[in-house]
Amino acid sequence: MPEKRVRTTQTRLRIKQAFTELVSEKGFSAITISDISRRAGINRGTFYLHFVDKNDLLEQLEEETIKDLANILLTPLPAPANTDSDDIFPFEVLRNALRYVVNDFAFISAIAGKGGDPQFSEKFKRLIDGLMEQGLCRAHIAITGNAIYPASYAREIALSHVMAIIELWIRRGCSEDPEQIARMICDTRHVRFDDLLDR
């Protein structure tokens, strides 16, 4: 890799690290370009060589993260050999996505937290929706709903179930292994609320 490209990559990593720390400490709305530059050990001019402003920085970093997660979550899988399979959320795919979250935990937890970007969770949710749609297509089934649960609500219930587990896991510092959380998501699809009560 040419030396200039190495320096550029290193500078962007320092900016990302500084930005991540500041979002965690102060919240996105409170930080300035001067804050980021000072924390990264660069001057403002260097910052502007890479980003237009802090919103552009946020957008680019989020886009990289969402693109990486999309490559994991939305890579087409072959149809199951067992035609009775309804593996809507494949364990391996979820596990790999959650491993990615662990590897970039500092940034993702900062941006998904209350001081970050409220839209990030929605972007993540759209990826989970895409994963679910692929699973439904592979299994040749559809969410049609019924008289009690119309299709749009049934779909939201399924998506919210997955996102609630992932978001709680992130808030808890990813303290459980990705394998454990992926298994929990897969297994609890078939658990009723009453099954969780100690009667």
Lowest mean pLDDT among 48-57, 94-103, 168-177, 187-196: 187-196
pLDDT value for 140? 87
Query: Residue 87: its pLDDT value, please?
Result: 77
Q: List pLDDT tens digits, range 82-134.
A: 544 457 899 999 999 999 999 999 999 999 999 999 999 999 999 999 999 99
pLDDT in tens, 58-70: 999 999 999 999 9
> Measuring CA to CA, which residue among 73, 80, 83, 86 is closest to residue 190?
86
pLDDT of residue 88: 87
Contact between 124 and 103 (Cβ < 8 Å)? no
* Distances in whole angstroms, Cα of residue 24 to Cα of each of 21, 81, 83, 153, 176: 5, 46, 46, 34, 21
- pLDDT for 145: 80
- Supply the pLDDT for residue 193: 65
So what's the pLDDT on residue 76? Answer: 84
Arithmetic mean of pLDDT, 136-156: 88
80: pLDDT strictly greater than 80: no
Looking from the CA of 30 toward its CB, the CA atoms found within 13 Å total: 11
> Of 127-131, 151-155, 168-172, which gets the smallest average pLDDT?
151-155
- Lowest model confidence (mean pLDDT) among 29-33, 65-69, 187-191: 187-191
**What local confidence, expressed as pLDDT, does residue 85 receive?**
47
150 - beta bridge partners?
145
Spatial separation of the C-alpha atoms in residues 45 and 49, rounded to whole Å = 6
pTM: 0.88
Q: Which residue, among 124, 126, 138, has the nearest Cα to 170 in the 3D structure? A: 124
